[in-house]
């Protein structure tokens, strides 16, 4: 099942999104969401991320990279969405960041709606790397540029994808990949309906 929105995507980079940027980074996301609510200028952003080191990273490069990834995933989100991430429970922040990541990466959203849903319906206990590789090969026919990416890049993307899915609670760990049930919080459903993103709801509910 391909999302109708996929046909509107012109570039494989838009389809892939910033998946390679890293995991959900919930603690960092809460801090960045709070910062974004203040509508910082570029100078204020760098002051907080680099000089004040609000993310408490060991290097400026790491702080900038993590902050940029979270910011990119939260681009275009309403103040209400950002407030829920910044001040909500860990479970709420996690689900909202996962939703934001799926919106940013249509590829990952389709993996959830196709591979994860099929695995659930077949009562499989776990996923494996082969599931991702088969899905990647299939999507490479849609976006041939994906097949031209280096082996190290495609491997890193698969690792990050499973880490994000594990962070969101859909698999026990990246090692076991054992499937787990996640129940969508009403606040998350409500915000996604406001955004007319029923496709993301279906990617998260898996039923």
| Whether the Cβ atoms of residue 156 and residue 20 lie closer than 8 Å to each other | yes
Q: What is the pTM of this model?
A: 0.93
What pLDDT does 33 receive? 98
Q: Report the C-alpha gap between 175 and 166 in whole angstroms.
A: 10
Q: Write out pLDDT tens, residues 18-49.
A: 888 899 999 999 999 999 999 999 999 999 99
User: What are the structure tokens assigned to 28, written together?
Assistant: 């960092």
What pLDDT does 7 receive? 46
pLDDT more than 90, % of the chain = 89
What pLDDT does 8 receive? 60
Question: In 3D, which of 205, 207, 125, 202 has the Cα closest to residue 171?
Answer: 125
Half-sphere exposure of 28 (CA within 13 A, CB side): 21
What pLDDT does 4 receive? 45
- Give how far the C-alpha of residue 172 lies from the chain's centroid of Cα atoms, to the nearest Å: 17
Q: Write out pLDDT tens, residues 144-198.
A: 999 999 999 999 999 999 999 999 999 999 999 999 999 999 999 999 999 999 9
């Amino acid at each position: 099942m391909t999302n109708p929105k996929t046909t509107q995507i012109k570039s494989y980079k838009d389809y892939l999104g910033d998946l390679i940027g890293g995991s959900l980074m919930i603690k960092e996301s809460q801090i960045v969401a709070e910062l974004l609510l203040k509508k910082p200028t570029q100078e204020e952003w760098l002051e907080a991320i680099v000089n004040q080191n609000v993310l408490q990273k060991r290097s400026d490069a790491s702080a900038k990279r993590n902050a940029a990834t979270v910011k990119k995933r939260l681009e275009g989100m309403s103040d209400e969405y950002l407030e829920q991430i910044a001040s909500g429970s860990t479970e709420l922040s996690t689900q909202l960041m996962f939703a934001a990541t799926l919106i940013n990466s249509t590829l990952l959203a389709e993996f959830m709606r196709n591979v994860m849903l099929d695995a659930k319906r077949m009562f499989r206990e776990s996923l494996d790397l082969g599931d991702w590789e088969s899905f990647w090969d299939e999507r490479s026919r849609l976006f041939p540029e994906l097949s031209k990416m280096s082996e190290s890049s495609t491997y890193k993307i698969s690792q990050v994808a499973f880490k994000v899915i594990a962070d969101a609670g859909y698999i026990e760990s990246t090692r076991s990949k054992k499937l787990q049930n996640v129940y969508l919080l009403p606040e998350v459903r409500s915000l996604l309906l406001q955004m007319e993103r029923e496709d993301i709801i279906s990617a998260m509910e898996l039923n």
